[in-house]
Amino acid sequence: MHKPAKEPNDLEKYFVERANAGDLEGLLALYEPGAVIADGSGEIAAGTEQIKELLSHFLADRPTLEPGNQADALCSGDLSLTSSRLSNGDITAEVARRQPDGNWLWVIDQFALGKYK
């Protein structure tokens, strides 16, 4: 059983931990079933099966991730905007939604965007 995200910014922490462990199912558990991911190269994955395929390809490269510098989560009701600046200067942006059980899952995830100029 994977730890649930009690706060929106827990999601990135768990993403880094689970990606470094090669835990595909753990990564999938961070997203709502109808979530959408844009991978930064123009590819978009929508729904569990497409997200599973995208994350499977991501994990195939055996990435070693470092936690980013997270901005404070910006919350409005049951929605939250989360964002991190990675060590290479790239930025991520995500929308999380509070679930009926009080835990948070991502519904929209924009993988790292190139450095702002």
Name the residue range of residue 90's domain: 10-112
pTM for the structure as a whole: 0.90
**Residues 35-50: pLDDT tens digits?**
999 987 888 999 999 9
Is 43 a member of any domain?
A: yes
**Residues 66-107: pLDDT tens digits?**
888 999 999 999 999 999 998 888 889 999 999 999 999 999
Count: domains in the chain: 1
Is 3 a member of any domain?
A: no
pLDDT at 97: 98
DSSP lists the bridge partners of residue 56 as none
CA-angle at 79, arms to 73 and 82, nearest 5°? 30
CATH number at residue 33: 3.10.450.50
